[in-house]
């Protein structure tokens, strides 16, 4: 039996329930969750830039390769004047033409290989004719050359440069130009084929 001043017991407060932690977001591969990371899965592979093969600019490469011709002509005359075989310049023409072609075409010669060989042959022939013209100029300055009665050295060189008697008088030197030209072209082609085989597919 309770007395009037005795109040009913107050119910004790319920303990505060602990806040349950929020579930962490599920991060799928390739999903940015706030922290920078790189995925190595298919998503990253698809986003990687694809390098396309460089197109061969044949006309531009051939235009660049023509620069080897005057260099070969000058070098052939200098070597000849020094008493060496001027045909050595054929190697310089072949290597220089390929180098300049690759710079202009932005790739080694493939589609432009045949016309590039033509440029090398023209350069070798021009180098030989440069030697002949140099000798003709020297001969024109002699008393025997002056006695021929040509009005100028230009007329003398123009008339005799393609004279077969003059050209065949070089004999072994002309043959050496042909041999060195073939060796230069063959060596250039071999280097190109070797580099093509070693290049990654």
**What is the tens place of the pLDDT at every residue in 13-33?**
555 555 555 555 554 554 444
With a cut of 70, say whether residue 88 has pLDDT above it: yes
pLDDT at 101 over 50: yes
Is the CB of residue 106 less than 8 Å from the CB of residue 96?
A: no
Residue 120 has pLDDT above 70, yes or no: yes
Instruction: Give the C-alpha distances (Å, rounded to integers) separating 59 from 95, 111, 119, 186, 191.
Output: 18, 10, 12, 23, 22
The residue with greater pLDDT, 45 or 22, is 22
Question: Which pTM does this prediction carry?
Answer: 0.68
Count, residues in the chain: 201
pLDDT at position 12, please? 55
Most confident residue range from 11-20, 53-62, 130-139, 189-198:
130-139
- Asked if residue 52 has pLDDT above 80, the reply is no
The chain-wide mean pLDDT, for the chain, equals: 78
pLDDT of residue 68: 94
Lowest mean pLDDT among 30-44, 103-117, 136-150, 163-177: 30-44
């Amino acid at each position: 039996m309770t007395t009037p001043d005795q109040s009913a017991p107050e119910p004790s407060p319920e303990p505060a329930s602990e806040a349950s932690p929020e579930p962490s977001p599920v991060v799928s591969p390739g999903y940015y969750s706030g922290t920078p990371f790189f995925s190595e899965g298919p998503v990253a592979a698809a986003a990687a830039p694809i390098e396309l093969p460089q197109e061969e600019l044949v006309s531009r490469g051939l235009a660049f390769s023509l620069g080897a011709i005057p260099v070969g002509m000058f070098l052939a005359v200098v070597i000849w004047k020094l008493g060496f075989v001027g045909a050595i310049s054929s190697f310089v023409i072949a290597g220089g033409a390929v180098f300049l072609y690759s710079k202009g075409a932005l790739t080694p010669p493939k589609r432009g290989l045949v016309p590039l060989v033509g440029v090398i042959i023209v350069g070798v022939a021009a180098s030989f004719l440069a030697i002949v013209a140099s000798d003709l100029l020297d001969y024109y300055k002699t008393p025997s050359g002056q006695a021929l009665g040509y009005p100028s050295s230009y007329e003398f060189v123009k008339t005799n440069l393609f004279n077969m008697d003059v050209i065949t008088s070089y004999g072994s030197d002309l043959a050496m130009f042909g041999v060195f030209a073939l060796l230069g072209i063959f060596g250039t082609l071999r280097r190109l084929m070797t580099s093509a085989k070693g290049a990654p597919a």
